[in-house]
Structure 1
């Protein structure tokens, strides 16, 4: 399982996250397996910015990790992403959270995402669609939920009835 976190807090964030899910679904050699509901969450870091809309997507891909990261960053750029300040406002943020059962430590990419277990806006949507998700060391991500359960987040109305995407054809096998 490959998990990607999605977030936006500028220029129609719910629509931006929805469009990002559609764009991820058509990346080369990649199949969108499922996505969570959208959640409204307070920003991490500077509080002088709008609330975020967050979600998590599960993928399968034949792309190598850095190629998928580049494709996700291209989607961010296409959405007008500009990095003004750490944890600041953004039109679109796409983070690789998990890469199968692997640990990756490269200058451009660290997986599992080093902060994911500290953030309700990552854990709740991920556990909604992958309740048995584990870190590469085998520890269930659900073990971290009690430590973040007090962080405010609000589920938004569903994008669609079924969060599991039925692929027309598999390009990731």
Structure 2
């Protein structure tokens, strides 16, 4: 079992319900939720002319290795109604793997720690709030 921090974001539809549904899917498919952050409202990153996001961070304990966890969260996004748009565009749900234990991963499809940690304040807050001291 490994600990991973996920970031959830949504800015379309019923945002609070999107977050709640994502949390249910995570608990069911990805791993046991150990802790969550408060829900935060954040300005869009990259493409700024779109609705604000609701974001939440989740610390999970998962039996899945990083690439399998990525496959699972991408499948969850699809089941929750996400469809491809454009980079940093509006979305019903976005689930990012921010950290996975102390492991570093760099593949064409997955980078851990998430590269957005250096650019996005809310990602930093999530990791600070959920990292076990």
Flag whether TM exceeds 0.5 (same fold).
yes
Q: Runs of at least 4 residues of structure 1 off by over 6 A?
A: none
CA distance in 2, matches of 1:100, 1:125: 15
Which sections of structure 1, spanning at least 5 residues, go unmatched? Answer: 133-173
Establish whether residue 25 from structure 1 lines up as the match of residue 39 from structure 2.
no
Shift of 1:128: 2.4
Establish whether residue 91 from structure 1 lines up as the match of residue 92 from structure 2.
yes
SS of 1:48's equivalent?
coil
SS of 2:115's equivalent?
coil
Q: Which residue of 2 aligns with 1:56?
A: 57
Q: Is the 8 A contact 2:5 2:130 kept in 1?
A: no
CA deviations 1:63-113 (Å, max 9, x no partner) are 121111111001100111112111010000001110101101112111000
- Distance 1:130-1:18 versus aligned 2 partners, 3 A rule: same
Higher strand share: 2
CA distance in 2, matches of 1:124, 1:99: 16
- Distance 1:92-1:58 versus aligned 2 partners, 3 A rule: same
- Distance 1:5-1:13 versus aligned 2 partners, 3 A rule: same
Q: Is the 8 A contact 2:21 2:80 kept in 1?
A: no
Number of aligned residue pairs: 131
Q: Is the 8 A contact 2:10 2:55 kept in 1?
A: yes
TM norm structure 2: 0.91
Q: Is the 8 A contact 1:31 1:60 kept in 2?
A: yes
* Aligned-pair Cα RMSD in Å: 1.4
Shift of 1:131: 6.4
SS of 1:102's equivalent?
coil
CA distance in 2, matches of 1:44, 1:95: 14
SS of 2:72's equivalent?
helix
Which stretch shifts more, 83-92 or 116-125? Answer: 116-125
Q: Is the 8 A contact 1:55 1:122 kept in 2?
A: no
Which is greater in Rg? 1
CA deviations 1:120-149 (Å, max 9, x no partner) are 1212233223364xxxxxxxxxxxxxxxxx
Shift of 1:57: 0.5
Q: Which residue of 2 aligns with 1:165?
A: none
